[in-house]
Structure 1
Amino acid sequence: MISNQESLNFSPYLAIFDLVVPEDNMLRQINKLVDFSFILEELKTKYCLDNGRNAVSPIRMFKYLLLKSIYDLSDVDVVERSKYDMSFKYFLDMAPEDSVIDPSSLTKFRKLRLQDVGLLDMLIGKTVEIAIKKEIIKNKTIIVDATHTKARYNQKSPREFLQEKSKNVRKAVYQFDESMKEKFPSKTTSNEVTDELNYCRQIISVVESEPKIAATPAVKEKLNVLKEVVEDYTEQLAFSTDPDARVGHKTADSSFFGYKTHIAMSDERIITAAVVTTGEKSDGKYLQELIKKSQATGMEINTIIGDTAYSEKNNICYTKEHQLTLVSRLHPLITYGRRTKEDEFNFNKDAGMYVCKAGHMAIRKKYEERKNQDKNPRIKYLFDIKKCAVCPFREGCYKEGAKSKSYSVTIKSTEHTGQEAFQNTEAFKDLAKTRYKIEAKNSELKHRHGYDVASSTGLFGMEIQGATAIFAVNLKRIIKLLSEKK
């Protein structure tokens, strides 16, 4: 049960916050900047208002998730730090003497309270609303790009993944005390996941039996990760990889297993829209959705800047129809006009190859002139027939016994003459120079807010992580721009 009214804090120790949390503290500034009551309004329907035991305020629970993103902490570590960090307690609207939640409550909050809330759009919309109100967003330009996030559980088997995490714990322990080797159990020789789980539990037990070692920050961090992984696998032994994650390609020679977040950002570096997808999706397909979502926040748009992935024919037509300027250089391989099975084969601009819906990339391509057939030339992309023969999506795509599998694209370069003329102008070149800003923003998300690896499994978990991480970076950017205006 939650109350419709926020409770008042009458602690005699509140003055401590004025002494230890200065005015320029980021968390104090965020509390002043944002009225978090919108969280309560959005989540009311997820709680009972007049029956049952009093629940921890959804605002406080959300703020815990926000702290996780701002400081890139695990559930256990963010709760542990909130025991003694007065800036955390101030941000969470707690009294200095208040006790903290159980870390497991955060998992329940994500799964039970945030389903079907549309948190990603809601949080981005809130920050853009603040930025517009504070007159921070003045430009009518958005920059678009996609960034990838590796799945928490990659393509290793469950046993291999557990082995890796237990090894990290042992290595951290040995740096502190090598004699601990004698206390650890013998490694399992079984191929059973349950045996590996039991081994990991024994590792955890041994480390926790040595309080001084377990309390060492380097050990504690690795130990908490192992404990979370063991808990996840105990709950769901059946999966060997993230069920929603897919193979995506960064270049012809490099790939990742996970997700993509398609992002639109204002020229002032405020993220105005985002769409989280599985890793194999094409960047260009989400341009129109990013434009519409950015406009829905109240932002006016007249120019879109992106790399070659966004110069598809449909995007050029859409921006012209809506009187928008598209600053996206044409790619000779993705601007061919109409082709069959567009929804099943996506072009990867970095690799210069097509990718099927299973995430497999073509292994080579060849050019076909076709002059004698009185047809436009085409490029044929050939796939690895061994993968096609065992692919779960082979029905209707691969013919049993076939010697090869290809996908052809007809070249129709004349349809893009207008965009080609525009990209050769000085105005296009000047606007294109600002695209670097979104690459820096992607780097900030990954390296400062843990967005390089998914913190949980599934597309929903990735959306929650994206929502809180983007909310955090937008608030930090707004605070920085406001300080520069003073």
Structure 2
Amino acid sequence: MIQKHKTAVSSPYMTIYDLVVPADNLLRKINDLLDFSFVYEELKNKYCHDNGRNAIDPIRMFKYLLLKTIFDLSDVDGVERSKYDMSFKYFLDMTPEEAVIEPSSLTKFRKLRLQDMNLLDLLINKTVEIAIEKKIIKSKTIIVDSTHTKARYNQKTPREILMNRSKNVRKAIYKVDEAMKERFPTKPTTDTLDDEITYCQKLVEVIEKEAHLCEYPKIKEPLNLLKETIADDMEQLRSMRDQDARVGHKSADSSFLGYKTHLAICEERIITAAHITTGEKPDGKQLPTLVEKSKVAGIEVEEAIGDMAYSEKDNISYCQEEDIKLISKLNPVVTQGIRKKEDEFEFNKDAGMFVCKAGHLAIRKKRHGKTETGKNPTLRYYFDVKKCQTCPFQEGCYKKGAKSKTYSVSIKSTEQTDQEEFQNSEYFKKKAKERYKIEAKNSELKHRHGYDVAFSSGLVGMELQGAMAIFTVNLKRILKLMERE
């Protein structure tokens, strides 16, 4: 049963917060900035209101997840820290002497309360709403890009994951008490996952008997991670696969297995929209989605800045229809016209025809294809077949017996021609330099909030991770901008 959120119960020790949680503490500033009652309103239908035991306050559960993201902690370590860290207790609306939750409650909260709700858009829209109210967002420009997140389980085999985590625990213990090596169970000699799980379970049992060792933070954290992997991730370890993860490409010769988060930020570096997909999805196709989500969040979009992945013809047309300036360079293939064998055919501007490697000029040209098909039309250049039949360079160029020899070049669409003209303007060149801002935001997500590797498996888990990470970086950015005002 759920009850309406209440502030912390009165306690004779409440004044301690005024002494140990200063005004410039990040968690105090977040509490002062944001009314978390919206969490209750969004989740109240997930609970029973008139039957059963009282549920843990959903706002407190949500704040626990936020603390995990802000400080990059596991469930166990996040709850453990809330036992003694007064800033955590203050943020969670707890009295100083109040008992903490069981870490397993967070897993249930994620699975039972946060499923089937669009948390990603909800949290982004909430932070954008705050930024607009505080008059922080003044620009009408969004910058778009994507960042990749590796799948948690497929990078290594389940057995390798367990081996690595048990190794980290042993190394931490040897630094404190090398004699423990004699008490540890014998490592498995087989390559089976079940034997590795059994070994890790026995290892944990031996360590936990040595209570003094478990008090060392450098031992406690890797030990908790190993226990969490065995307990919470057993099903995933046995399945040996993240079913939703897909292979994506960062460049022509490098790839990753996992997910993509497509982002839009304003020039003030607040994320205004996000769309999470599997790793193989192309970046450019997500532009209309990011623009529309930004508008729903309250952003007036007059410009969109992105790399050349966003300059495809459909995006140019979309931006023209929406009266949005697209600051995205055309792919060189488009600006030059799509050509094959460029080293064998050169354009003679005086004749308006192509010349082949042998120096033969095309005798005529003809336009092919209709714009209604959605594909760019082509200009086809025709050469004198009689010359081709006796040409010393005919191998690989002219097929014997063929009745014609042609060379085709795609024609830029009207939209692309206009975009190329805009691309050459000084305004375009100046605005394009703003794109670095989103690359810095991607780096912040990965290196400060653990966004380089997925916390769990599946697209749903990735969306939850993305929601909390983006909510965190937006709140921190808003606070930073407010301090400058």
Normalising by structure 1, we get a TM-score of 0.83
- 1:36 and 2:36 matched: yes
- What per-residue deviation string (whole Å, max 9, x for no partner) do you get for residues 185-221 of structure 1? 2221222211111011122222222233332222222
1:333 Cα offset (Å): 5.1
Instruction: Give the stretch that moved more between structures: 134-143 or 367-376.
Output: 367-376
Distance change in 2, residues 1:7/1:436 (3 Å): closer
Q: How does 1:224-263 map to 2 (within 5 A)?
A: 224-263=224-263
1:422 Cα offset (Å): 1.4
Q: Which residue of 2 aligns with 1:451?
A: 451
1:417 Cα offset (Å): 1.8
Q: Which residue of 2 aligns with 1:422?
A: 422
Distance change in 2, residues 1:96/1:75 (3 Å): same
- What per-residue deviation string (whole Å, max 9, x for no partner) do you get for residues 425-450 of structure 1? 11011101111111111111111111
Instruction: Give the stretch that moved more between structures: 156-165 or 37-46.
Output: 156-165
1:164 Cα offset (Å): 1.9
Secondary structure (helix, strand or coil) at the match of 1:156 reads coil
Contact 2:335–2:420 (CA under 8 A) maintained in structure 1: no
Instruction: Give the stretch that moved more between structures: 286-295 or 162-171.
Output: 162-171
Distance change in 2, residues 1:230/1:424 (3 Å): same
Name the CA distance, whole Å, in 2 between partners of 1:335 and 1:180. 68
Q: Which residue of 1 aligns with 2:277?
A: 277
Q: Sequence identity of aligned pairs in percent?
A: 64
1:225 Cα offset (Å): 1.4
Distance change in 2, residues 1:311/1:222 (3 Å): same
1:184 Cα offset (Å): 2.0
Alignment size in residue pairs? 428
Q: 2:27 corresponds to which letter in structure 1?
A: L
- What per-residue deviation string (whole Å, max 9, x for no partner) do you get for residues 227-260 of structure 1? 1111234334541121211111112222211111
Q: Which residue of 1 aligns with 2:79?
A: 79
Name the CA distance, whole Å, in 1 between partners of 2:472 and 2:292. 22
Q: Which residue of 2 aligns with 1:319?
A: 319
Q: Which residue of 1 aligns with 2:135?
A: 135
Name the CA distance, whole Å, in 1 between partners of 2:98 and 2:181. 40
Q: How does 1:162-181 map to 2 (within 5 A)?
A: 162-181=162-181
Instruction: Give the stretch that moved more between structures: 310-319 or 244-253.
Output: 244-253
Q: How does 1:283-294 map to 2 (within 5 A)?
A: 283-294=283-294
Distance change in 2, residues 1:7/1:31 (3 Å): closer
Secondary structure (helix, strand or coil) at the match of 2:239 reads coil
Equivalent position to 2:410, from 409, 412, 423: 412
Name the CA distance, whole Å, in 1 between partners of 2:94 and 2:471. 22
Q: 1:47 corresponds to which letter in structure 2?
A: Y
Contact 2:422–2:428 (CA under 8 A) maintained in structure 1: yes
1:285 Cα offset (Å): 1.1
Q: Which residue of 2 aligns with 1:211?
A: 211
Aligned-residue CA RMSD (Å): 2.5
1:40 Cα offset (Å): 0.3
Instruction: Give the stretch that moved more between structures: 56-65 or 410-419.
Output: 410-419
1:156 Cα offset (Å): 2.4
Contact 2:5–2:37 (CA under 8 A) maintained in structure 1: no
Q: Which residue of 1 aligns with 2:307?
A: 307
- What per-residue deviation string (whole Å, max 9, x for no partner) do you get for residues 453-486 of structure 1? 111111111111110111111111111111111x
Instruction: Give the stretch that moved more between structures: 163-172 or 196-205.
Output: 163-172
Q: How does 1:364-375 map to 2 (within 5 A)?
A: none
Name the CA distance, whole Å, in 1 between partners of 2:162 and 2:3. 42
Give the gaps of 5 or more residues in structure 2.
346-353, 355-361, 369-377, 381-407
- 1:190 and 2:190 matched: yes
Q: Which residue of 1 aligns with 2:348?
A: none
Q: 1:145 corresponds to which letter in structure 2?
A: D
1:118 Cα offset (Å): 0.5
Distance change in 2, residues 1:337/1:27 (3 Å): farther
Distance change in 2, residues 1:157/1:412 (3 Å): same
Name the CA distance, whole Å, in 1 between partners of 2:40 and 2:81. 24
Q: How does 1:80-95 map to 2 (within 5 A)?
A: 80-95=80-95
Instruction: Give the stretch that moved more between structures: 80-89 or 248-257.
Output: 248-257
Structure ID, larger Rg: 2
Distance change in 2, residues 1:422/1:138 (3 Å): same
1:8 Cα offset (Å): 5.4
Instruction: Give the stretch that moved more between structures: 35-44 or 216-225.
Output: 216-225
Contact 2:8–2:93 (CA under 8 A) maintained in structure 1: no
Distance change in 2, residues 1:5/1:259 (3 Å): closer
1:377 Cα offset (Å): 9.3
Secondary structure (helix, strand or coil) at the match of 1:65 reads helix
Q: 1:156 corresponds to which letter in structure 2?
A: K
Distance change in 2, residues 1:208/1:281 (3 Å): same
Distance change in 2, residues 1:452/1:334 (3 Å): farther
Distance change in 2, residues 1:249/1:5 (3 Å): closer
Secondary structure (helix, strand or coil) at the match of 2:251 reads coil
